[in-house]
Amino acid sequence: MPAPFDSPLFWLLAVIGVIITGISKSGFAGGAGVLAVPLMALVIPLPMATVIMLPVLLFMDVKTIQIYRKHASVETLKRIVPAALVGIVLGGLVMGMLSNSALELITGAISIVFASWQHVSGALRRFQQAGWFWGTVSGITSTLIHAGGPPINVYFLGRELAKLQWLGTAAVLFGVMNLVKVVPYSLNGFWEVRLLWISLAMVPAAWIGVQLGHTIQKRFDGETFTRICRVLLVVSGTGLVVKGLFF
């Protein structure tokens, strides 16, 4: 397998990103799970990074659904899933039309915005109850860079869900979304056998992340963890903007 997959830097960034994503998904409803794709995209083309992460995310979804499915809010899922599916369709169309440099610029910008998401979401609180708005945004960002967590968390915040209900609803929602995303990825011709092998190699890191997240959420509120992820997002997002503009 040719470079950059032979590069220790790729594997270091990928493993870090996958573990943090697992912690985020099972412990904090996916809010910081946006990190893995920007980190890997610093070394490999962004579409490859998104493809590698999708099977890994599906594995994480199975584990988190097993843990939290009893706490999922069916009423909330009925409101948000249709909008998320619309967002996935729109994201799939955009993904097929943009160049790799454009995707890197968009990913970098989204990463930087999500790094300050607490302030952004506070300014947009008037949209909290708008399930169609946040669901569609989540579907688009999830399709482009697997970053559906922050938008949907703003909606969940407005619903005032209890922590376990929040985690259970997010687990089922992202399980549905990631399964549906197989379709636009296939239509855009992104799948490669070598990328699936890399995804398989990431499964142990994904398992570790999910287990850590389940343990951490019982003991911490996640503020320190989220703060660290925001710093990493700014760094990786800035790197992607520079890469998209000059390389």
Question: What average pLDDT is seen over the chain?
Answer: 81
Phi, psi of 91 (to 5 degrees): -65, -40
pLDDT of residue 106: 81
d(Cα 209, Cα 14) in Å, to the nearest integer? 12
Question: How many CB atoms lie under 10 A from the CB of residue 7?
Answer: 12
Q: How much of the chain exceeds pLDDT 70, in percent?
A: 82
103-137 tens-digit pLDDT: 778 877 877 877 776 655 555 545 555 688 889 98
pLDDT of residue 2: 47
pLDDT of residue 152: 81
Task: Report the range of poorest mean pLDDT among 4-8, 34-38, 154-158.
Answer: 154-158
- Of the two residues 139 and 238, the one the predictor is more confident about is 139
Percent helix, percent strand, percent coil in the chain, to nearest 5: 80, 0, 20
Question: How many CB atoms lie under 10 A from the CB of residue 183?
Answer: 12
Any alpha helices (H) in 42-130, and if so which ranges?
A: 46-68, 74-97, 100-115, 117-123
Long-range contacts of 123-128 (CB under 8 A, 24+ apart): 124/154, 125/158, 127/154, 128/154, 128/155, 128/157, 128/158, 128/159
d(Cα 139, Cα 147) in Å, to the nearest integer? 9
What's the length of the chain?
247
In the chain, DSSP assigns E strands to none
On whether the CB atoms of residues 159 and 121 are closer than 8 A, the answer is no
Asked if residue 31 has pLDDT above 70, the reply is no
- Amino acid occupying residue 202: M
196-220 tens-digit pLDDT: 999 999 999 999 998 888 887 777 6
d(Cα 108, Cα 95) in Å, to the nearest integer? 15
Token pair, residue 219, equals: 């003991």
